[in-house]
Structure 1
Amino acid sequence: MSETTAVSAQPATEQGFKRSLGLLDATMIVAGSMIGSGIFIVSADITRNVGSAGWLIAVWLLTGFMTLTAALSYGELSAMFPKAGGQYVYLKEAYNPLIGFLYGWSFFAVIQTGTIAAVGVAFSKFTAYFVPALEMNDANVLLDLGWLKIYPAQLVSIVLIAFLTWINTRGVKEGKLIQTTFTVTKLVSLFGLIAFGFLLAANSDTWNANWSAAWNMKRMTTDGSLTPVLGVAALGAIAASMVGSIFSSDAWNNVTFIAGEIKNPQRNIGLSLFLGTLIVTVIYVLANIMYVSVLPLAGIAGAPSDRVAVAAANAIFGNIGTYVIAVMIMISTFGCNNGLILAGARVYYSMAKDGLFFKKAGTLNKNAVPEWALWAQCVVASILCLSGRYGDLLDMVSFVVVIFYMLTIAGIFKLRRTRPHAERPYKAVGYPFLPALYILMGLTFCTLLIIYKPKFTWPGLIIVLIGIPLYYLALRNKRK
């Protein structure tokens, strides 16, 4: 990022918050919030959509490029508005309070809470390798209401979310310790898995077979049968594939929500966004290259329950590989949820300070954290765990998430015009080319989803639009 000649002084600490997070902590929040269970699973669905090694890697590279571009663009906004709330604040400042509220409402209703629920249930599912009673099957149903089934795994997920919420109510230092420890552990574990894959299980015959027709796109079923994908339908296949890779690469912006607790935020937020997203992008691409060097494409597409990493680990370590991956995913999802829980509550805090959320969410406890907001987030995430619909909801909002990212990055152009003399300690890298390219790529992705996967689009828009009457209701209550 290019630095201006006049860098503003360290901003005053936001009232009540303590700036106790350094660059390493911020980077670990970026990387740790991004890496959950997706990299271990979603490559199966991507392979079924594109049917070739070249396009599998290309989807991850494209997603990584979009993520890095967005992160570099956010550096400018994070330096202009170094306070709690992140993307909510950027949208409010660039456009108006309604746009900011619609993001915050969607964030509370589904985006953050649904991700917390999904990651929590992933933790429980892989714990089931060690505790079979946590398998989500008919033999382990605790309560069957016909329209709703409750499994022990869901209750374990709720206990995990509540435990991490409690930890984070005790202060940002406690959450920081968990985040840094677990993120470093899972980064080392992932690099280790990749290295062992190349050293112990890479097979030249498998590699050559997978790359023999690397750019012939095909739709692949779990039994390995192929259907060529031709013409413009290829774009639809790429867009459908990227739903999974974008979900796996999302939450990188969580560090912006806790700007009020980061030391020298004008420098460290932008730098942590770049470093964190770069580290994760490299890991994701290398992991998929390892997959195609160890497993045939049919083995990736047809991995049981889409657990590609388990299939790869079995090829590397034998039967014990299943348990190796189970432990890795438990570590990964535990740390991921800690970062999501820690950061998310700061958005509700900022909304409450603007009079657009429950008033109690805008208060800090004796440990200088928004305890009420943390528990409110916990309740909604727990309900989504019990509903079992978090996966569907997240598919529905992937479209909306990208729209909000595009709006936020477009806000850079708007603020350059409306506030030309505002201090910008950092400026978006590659402006205006890279931010404009991200917007173009995002528009293409969203348009293709509308055409080829409409079920991923309109439900998410409905969730966002429900926020409009809620906004005006909040305004009316604010005036009383």
Structure 2
Amino acid sequence: MSEEKHHLQRSLGLIDATSIVAGSMIGSGIFVVTVYMARDLGSAAWILITWVITGLLTMSAALSYGELAGMMPKAGGQFVYIQRAYGKLASFLYGWTVFTVIQTGVIAAVAVTFANYTAVFFPFLQDEIFKVGDVFVFKNSQILAMLCIILLTYINTKGIKNGKAIQLIFTSAKLIALFALIAFGLYIGFHTDTFSNNFTNTWEASKTVLDETTKTVTVTKLTGIALAGAIGATIINSLFSSDAWNNVTFIAGEIKDPKKNIPRSLFLGTLIVTVIYILANVAYLALLPLNGSVDGSVTENGIMFAAQDRVGTAAANMIMGNIGVFAMAALIMVSTFGCNSGLILSGGRLFYAMAKDSLFFKGAGELNQHDVPAKALWFQCIWACILCSSGKYGALLTYATFASLLFYILTIYGIFILRKKEPDAERPYKAFGYPLIPALYIILTAAICVALLINDTLSTGLGLGIVAIGIPVYYLFLNKKE
């Protein structure tokens, strides 16, 4: 279809954009990662502080992105911002990393999580179809995950209204369910002494390591630099759970009055999710002991050793008994399905913008009869399904998280560059607290990256490797263009 006949339709309002921000952020992480943070920090206070820091970092980044969104209300979002500040190579490396791992890897991971929790109701989904030694295992759940991605992609190719409706319905459903979980959790939890017990000797931090073979536990006290390093390393869990808020910038070409609505939706969406995440962790600490033992009851396991690392399920069990396992599985199914709808909808628009710059497959730059980049969506779908089938998306996500943080730093530093290069450019919204807030974000996130480099050198190095592979690919696209 030619661009003369079809163009992106501005049909999304503030509520729609906010639901995309919140819905894309809330997946399955909030129901799991507190277990890892509990083992890494061993302190209720430090866990909550880490979540507060995560929320402040996320909101400060979102408020900073508001300035760039107001300046460049175009499809592609962060890809466009990086290109204007640094040029095409830097923007391509961002788009390359998003396509190869960040967006598609998250889509694959969320889809498999959806399938795994569906298996609570249909256990045959965990059956193996075939395996190759201990290296490759293919299960029924991976087929369901791929079918989920294909279904959501198909729905989104039929027009922005379909994607908008699914996003609004599922985001509303999971927000209501989460608020109910928090409310009942706090009500029941605060009628016990669990919360106060969790805050005994609250500033004494420690790292707990479980030997899976012998089931023995090693505890190491954390103070000073060691504690700071532990927070810097474990915050990657909460940051990953709070990621994808920037997806709304990818669909700027379809948002009404984007110069106002994108900054507002970024603020409102990240604020809502930050409040929910902090309250959810307070509820966990009110319902379950922080410390526990391996292979005990729900209460005996506590947060640190929750069965299968599912602290959300353990909390629901404390509220509703055994039926809580099924209630939480249903909630996570709703959460992950809605999350993937937003990720799939928005990701295609980034690859559409890349194709318009001749930095992606040409067909991805075309719109179908419903005015959406259907081919870009299908390219994304195919690669996400390949990652589902490979079973390696989890490792790839670990490698890419570091690179993702670097691109956030790069983008926010772009505000400083563009203020200098283009002082007279139209800025309907200016970054909150500039230059202090953006500078603090850059400094704190850089410190987290340093902590990750020290504590997980292999994964961070591989993350940089994925970015570096994009350099020769960029020149291949340039040569093809010529």
CA distance in 2, matches of 1:440, 1:276: 24
CA distance in 1, matches of 2:15, 2:413: 29
Residue identity in the other structure for 1:196: F
Q: CA distance change for structure 1 residues 279 and 385 in 2, over 3 Å: closer, same or farther?
A: same
- Could you tell me which residue of structure 1 aligns to residue 247 of structure 2? 254
SS across alignment from 1:149: strand
Matches within 5 A, 1:71-82: 71-82=62-73
Q: Which moved more, 1:262-271 or 1:236-245?
A: 236-245
Aligned-residue CA RMSD (Å): 1.3
- Could you tell me which residue of structure 2 aligns to residue 52 of structure 1? 43
CA distance in 1, matches of 2:191, 2:235: 27
- Could you tell me which residue of structure 1 aligns to residue 155 of structure 2? 167
- The CA deviation string for residues 108-166 of structure 1, in whole angstroms up to 9 with x for no partner, is 0000000000000110111111001123xxxx210112332100001100000000000
- Could you tell me which residue of structure 2 aligns to residue 228 of structure 1? 221
Match of 2:357 among 336, 344, 354: 354
Matches within 5 A, 1:202-351: 202-221=190-209, 226-298=219-291, 299-351=302-354
Does the 8 Å CA contact 1:224/1:302 hold for their aligned counterparts? no
CA distance in 1, matches of 2:30, 2:173: 16
Give 5+ residue unaligned stretches, structure 1. Answer: 1-12
Give 5+ residue unaligned stretches, structure 2. Answer: 211-215, 292-301
Q: How many residue pairs get matched?
A: 463
CA distance in 1, matches of 2:457, 2:304: 23
Residue 220 of structure 1: CA displacement? 2.2
- Could you tell me which residue of structure 1 aligns to residue 132 of structure 2? 145
- The CA deviation string for residues 161-216 of structure 1, in whole angstroms up to 9 with x for no partner, is 00000000000000000000000110010000000001123354211211012111
Match of 1:181 among 162, 169, 184: 169
Q: Does 1:377 align with 2:364?
A: no
SS across alignment from 1:142: strand
Residue 397 of structure 1: CA displacement? 1.1
Does the 8 Å CA contact 1:113/1:380 hold for their aligned counterparts? yes
- The CA deviation string for residues 296-333 of structure 1, in whole angstroms up to 9 with x for no partner, is 01211101111000001101111111111000000000
Matches within 5 A, 1:406-421: 406-421=409-424
- Could you tell me which residue of structure 1 aligns to residue 188 of structure 2? 200
- Could you tell me which residue of structure 2 aligns to residue 434 of structure 1? 437
Matches within 5 A, 1:76-115: 76-115=67-106
CA distance in 1, matches of 2:441, 2:6: 35
Does the 8 Å CA contact 2:6/2:367 hold for their aligned counterparts? no
- The CA deviation string for residues 417-454 of structure 1, in whole angstroms up to 9 with x for no partner, is 00000000000000000000000011100011111111
- Could you tell me which residue of structure 1 aligns to residue 466 of structure 2? 463
Please, what TM-score do these two structures have when normalized by structure 2?
0.94
Match of 2:395 among 392, 400, 412: 392
Residue identity in the other structure for 1:269: I
- The CA deviation string for residues 238-280 of structure 1, in whole angstroms up to 9 with x for no partner, is 1221111111000000000000000000000000000000000
SS across alignment from 1:301: coil
CA distance in 2, matches of 1:447, 1:180: 38
Please, what TM-score do these two structures have when normalized by structure 1?
0.95
Does the 8 Å CA contact 1:356/1:471 hold for their aligned counterparts? yes
SS across alignment from 1:441: helix
- Could you tell me which residue of structure 1 aligns to residue 371 of structure 2? 368
Q: CA distance change for structure 1 residues 334 and 394 in 2, over 3 Å: closer, same or farther?
A: same
CA distance in 2, matches of 1:306, 1:370: 38
Residue identity in the other structure for 2:226: A
